[in-house]
Amino acid sequence: MRLHEFIFEMCESSIFRSPFAFIVEDDGVSVSIEVSDEDLRMSQTKTLTGQKGADAVIVELTKRGYLVKGMPNHNKGFDVDCQSPKGCKFRVEVKTSTSNTQIPIQLHHLEGKLDPDLFYVLVKKLEGAPFDDYYVLGHEELKAAWILMPKQMMNEQPYVITSTRAHIDWRLVELQRNRWYKLPK
């Protein structure tokens, strides 16, 4: 397990009560980590938001006749293993956000190898009914949205892109709203 994965799991773990601190040693490098109450709450809220989005997509796919299996929390690469009514197998990665401007996504989905059997359902959590908006994209469409994403803001400051995280503007995927027909039949 890599250091950043260990830290993420530790922060997500319900066994810790914040604030807490620990020291991790990886490849001979010691790192002291302190996690505040606010950091822990934000992490838990993001995890809960993501799980609610994945659960909503599982319900929606089931209603549409797909056989679905939800994967464990933080499964790398995809959230739902699916089979279409005609027997075609594919996977779905769910990304959920309460933001009205951008949706966070891991960089490996945007810059990795193209996977034609991987689909993305981006879930925008809404405050009122219908509570969720769904945007259905193939992997190639997600990569195209990333290419179109500006790399700097209007004030010419660069967007914050870390080695693992980026964001896609909701406006770049607006035309993909409720395009469930893209999924295998």
Domain ranges of the chain: 76-150+158-182
Q: Which two tokens stand for residue 6?
A: 């260990």
The region that residue 77 occupies, defined by phi over 0 for left and psi between -120 and 50 for alpha, beta otherwise, is left
Average pLDDT, the chain: 80
Burial class of residue 65 (count of CB atoms within 10 Å of its CB; 0-12, 13-18, 19+): exposed
Higher pLDDT pick, 57 / 164: 57
Q: How confident is the model at residue 23 (pLDDT cuts 50, 70, 90)?
A: low
CA angle 146, 147, 148 (to 5 degrees): 90
What gap in Å lies between CA 177 and CA 24, rounded to an integer?
Answer: 43
Q: Given a cut of 80, is residue 107 above it in pLDDT?
A: yes
pLDDT score, position 28 = 56
Could you identify the residue written with the tokens 């964001």?
167
**Which 8-state DSSP code applies to residue 37?**
H
Q: Given a cut of 70, is residue 78 above it in pLDDT?
A: yes
Least confident residue range of 6-15, 51-60, 153-162: 6-15
CB 24 within 8 A of CB 3: yes
69 phi and psi angles, rounded to 5 deg: -135, 115
Q: How confident is the model at residue 36 (pLDDT cuts 50, 70, 90)?
A: low
Give the highest mean pLDDT range of 24-33, 98-107, 138-147.
138-147
Over residues 18-34, the mean pLDDT reads 52
CB 60 within 8 A of CB 119: no
pLDDT score, position 150 = 86
Higher pLDDT pick, 178 / 50: 178
pLDDT score, position 63 = 94
